[in-house]
Amino acid sequence: MEGKLITAITVFPRRTDYSLPSFPELLQNPELPKGCEITALTMILNYYGYEVDKKEMSDKYLPKAPENLRYGADGRLLGTDLNHYFIGDPAGDGHVCGTGAIVNAANTYLGEQDSARRAIDQNGASPEKLYQLVCQGIPVIVWVTIDMAERRPTTGWNTEEGAYVEWSTNDHAAVLVGYTEKTVKISDPLKGLVEYDKERFEASYISRSNQCVILQ
């Protein structure tokens, strides 16, 4: 399904600039100082007309787990898969989560609403494909860094399934809602609606392994 969506998008020409109209701003603070990902998801849900708040999404729907760090028999450091769980608590001592946790939270909520809409990750999408999505009226949750700065050194471990996961102290998530030839418009859970240099945004997004989520 993901592949079909991306393939379909790439055949359409896009405008040189576009911005989603009336996209909601929602700040993560003070209630969720570590909750950028779930706040970004709540913005998109609100945009599509779902009346839910960030605290409810965090408390009720976001899968959470501790790091659970330990050494395996082979000497590798093992821990929780942050792609599928938020590590810690978004309201306090927490780290980050990947796209799997946000897709899970969204689809659990949407299922309870008897909605036909579903969240899917578009991991691996190029920046150009992100702009194609926005041009078609689709806001995109993007995994980036705070202020689109260079990513700081990471901390990581292996999961039981053999994947290596990592996080950094300036990891962030936000919603891409517009672009021009030189800039992007971001609904940032820390700052509200802001514009960033397009090259800086793309470098930040790529440093987070091109992770993104949409609703469709």
The enclosing domain of 99 has a CATH number of: 3.90.70.10
Question: 107: Cβ–Cβ under 8 A, 6 or more apart, which residues?
Answer: 118, 119
The pLDDT of residue 1 is: 34
The pLDDT of residue 14 is: 72
The pLDDT of residue 56 is: 98
Question: 85: Cβ–Cβ under 8 A, 6 or more apart, which residues?
Answer: 63, 64, 65, 97, 101
Cα–Cα distances (Å) from 83 to 17, 24, 121, 129, 156, in that order, read 32, 26, 11, 22, 12
Q: What is the pLDDT of residues 154-192, one digit of tens each?
A: 999 999 999 999 999 999 999 999 999 999 999 999 999
Smallest CA-to-CA distance from 151 within 191, 211, 91 is with 211
9 in any annotated domain:
no
Cα-trace Rg, the chain: 17
3 in any annotated domain:
no
8 in any annotated domain:
no
pTM, rounded to two decimals: 0.92
211 in any annotated domain:
yes
Q: Sign of dihedral through CA atoms 194, 146, 203, 99?
A: negative
- The structure tokens 């700065």 sit at 149
1 in any annotated domain:
no
Neighbours of 99 (CB within 10 A): 22
Structure tokens at 56: 């409810």
11 in any annotated domain:
no
**∠ Cα 202 204 207 (to 5°):** 110
The pLDDT of residue 94 is: 92
Which structural domain, as residue segments, surrounds residue 114?
22-215
Residue ranges, the chain, pLDDT below 70: 1-13
The pLDDT of residue 9 is: 42
The pLDDT of residue 134 is: 97
117 in any annotated domain:
yes
10 in any annotated domain:
no
Domain count, the chain: 1
The pLDDT of residue 7 is: 38
The pLDDT of residue 16 is: 87
